[in-house]
């Protein structure tokens, strides 16, 4: 989700989707981050391994506010092979 511009912030209320690896031995992690991925900006991290389709649903009842004018990013860190992520993100933009 793109950065909303100065004086605004994204507030994340939930994420729903699926994640699967490309082959039985493939694995990797995926992260939701407040801007560029780092330990300091990681909001949530999940792991996928194998070809079983994993569904997930995260709900934040009070919303998770990102830093002003910062994008929400989904980053994958593949260990071996590929992982595939399909998500819907529930958010709104609020003035700071």
Distances (CA, A) of 3 to 22, 28, 35, 59, 66: 31, 26, 9, 21, 10
Distances (CA, A) of 92 to 13, 49, 50, 62, 65: 8, 32, 34, 12, 10
The pLDDT of residue 95 is 96
Q: Do residues 46 and 19 touch, judged by C-beta distance below 8 A?
A: yes
pLDDT tens-place values along the chain, 96 residues long: 999 999 999 999 999 999 899 999 999 988 999 998 888 999 988 888 899 888 889 898 899 999 999 999 988 888 988 999 999 999 999 999
The pLDDT of residue 48 is 87
The pLDDT of residue 44 is 87
pTM given for the model:
0.84
The answer for 72, left when phi > 0, alpha when psi is -120 to 50, beta otherwise, is beta
The pLDDT of residue 33 is 93
The pLDDT of residue 47 is 87
CB burial of residue 22 (10 Å; 0-12, 13-18, 19+): middle
Half-sphere exposure of 9 (CA within 13 A, CB side): 11
């Amino acid at each position: 989700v793109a950065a909303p511009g100065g004086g605004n912030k994204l507030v994340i209320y939930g994420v729903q989707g699926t994640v699967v690896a490309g082959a039985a031995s493939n694995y990797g992690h995926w992260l939701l981050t407040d801007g560029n991925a780092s330990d300091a900006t990681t909001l949530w991290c999940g792991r996928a391994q194998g070809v079983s389709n994993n569904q997930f649903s995260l709900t934040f009842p009070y919303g998770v506010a990102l830093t002003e004018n910062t994008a929400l990013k989904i980053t994958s860190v593949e260990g071996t092979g590929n992982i595939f992520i399909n998500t819907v993100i529930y958010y709104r933009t609020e003035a700071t």
